[in-house]
């Protein structure tokens, strides 16, 4: 999973040629840690068709503010620089997998 920052978000996420699943997280967020293995599984299922990234909201304040991230975990899937799917809170694996499938057009 790629660590992105306010400084690298545009290049790593918005300008990506493949959809990017971004987990907004923080080191103290236990639900964030709980869903990470699920997200990694989903990422491995899609290979090069999907990029996984995480952004620490404690260190990077600009991007979360721009996208209205108010709770953790928040997972967004970006396609062509736009957020197309948002999942708030720790959810079952299926919820993340469905969001990715819709974003990939499956």
Q: Which residues are marked as active site?
A: 29, 32
Q: How far apart are CA 18 and CA 2, in angstroms?
A: 14
| CB 60, CB 5: distance < 8 Å | yes
With vertex at residue 84, the alpha carbon angle to CA 39 and CA 26, rounded to the nearest 5 degrees, is 45
- With 0-12 / 13-18 / 19 or more C-beta atoms within 10 angstroms meaning exposed / middle / buried, residue 83 is middle
């Amino acid at each position: 999973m790629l660590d992105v920052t306010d400084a690298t978000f545009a290049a790593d996420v918005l300008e990506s040629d493949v959809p990017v699943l971004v987990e907004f997280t923080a080191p103290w967020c236990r639900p964030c840690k709980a869903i990470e293995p699920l997200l990694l599984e989903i990422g491995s299922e899609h290979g090069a068709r999907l990029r996984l990234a995480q952004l620490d909201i404690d260190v990077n304040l600009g991007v979360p503010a721009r996208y209205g991230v108010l709770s953790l975990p928040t997972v967004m899937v970006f396609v062509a620089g736009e957020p197309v799917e948002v999942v708030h809170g720790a959810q079952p694996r299926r919820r993340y997998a469905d969001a990715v499938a819709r974003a990939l057009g499956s």
